[in-house]
Amino acid sequence: MRLHPYAALLDRPPTYYLDWALKEWQWFERSGLINGNYLINDGLSSFSQATSTSYRENLNRLRDGTCLNNNGTTWTYNQGVILSGLALLYNATRNTTLLDIAQKIADATIQRLIYSDGILKEPCEPNCNDDQKLFKGIFVRHLAYLVPYLTDAAHVQQYLSFLQQNAESVWTSRRCEADGLYSLIWSNQSSNSCEPLRNTSSTSAAWDLFISVAKTKPPSIRSSSNWTLLGLGNCMDDKNASMPNFSKMNVTEPVCRATADQDQGAVAYDHQLGCNGFQFCRIRTLSDPHLAPQGWSYENGTARNVTRTNKFPVTGCFLRLV
Q: What percent of the chain is modeled with pLDDT above 70?
A: 89
Alpha-carbon distance of 88 to 25, in angstroms, equals 12
At 2, is the pLDDT very low, low, confident or very high (cuts 50, 70, 90)? confident
**pLDDT at residue 278 in the model:** 81
Domain boundaries, the chain: 74-219, 227-320
**pLDDT at residue 151 in the model:** 84
Q: What is the pLDDT of residues 114-165, one digit of tens each?
A: 999 999 999 999 999 999 999 999 999 999 999 999 988 889 999 999 999 9
Q: What is the pLDDT of residues 91-110, one digit of tens each?
A: 999 999 999 999 999 999 99
pTM (2 d.p.): 0.66
Predicted confidence (pLDDT) at residue 223 exceeds the cutoff of 70: no
Alpha-carbon distance of 84 to 141, in angstroms, equals 9
Burial category of 315 from C-beta neighbours within 10 Å (exposed 0-12, middle 13-18, buried 19 and up): buried
CATH of 74-219, one of 1.20.140.10, 3.40.50.720, 1.10.1040.10, 1.50.10.20: 1.50.10.20
Nearest to 319 by CA among 218, 231, 250: 231
Q: Across the chain, what does the average pLDDT equal?
A: 87
- Quote the DSSP letter at residue 38: S
Helix (H, G, I), strand (E, B) or coil at 246: strand
Stretch 39-58: mean pLDDT, rounded? 63
Predicted confidence (pLDDT) at residue 217 exceeds the cutoff of 80: no
**pLDDT at residue 86 in the model:** 96
At 66, is the pLDDT very low, low, confident or very high (cuts 50, 70, 90)? low
Predicted confidence (pLDDT) at residue 260 exceeds the cutoff of 80: yes
**pLDDT at residue 291 in the model:** 92
Helix (H, G, I), strand (E, B) or coil at 303: coil
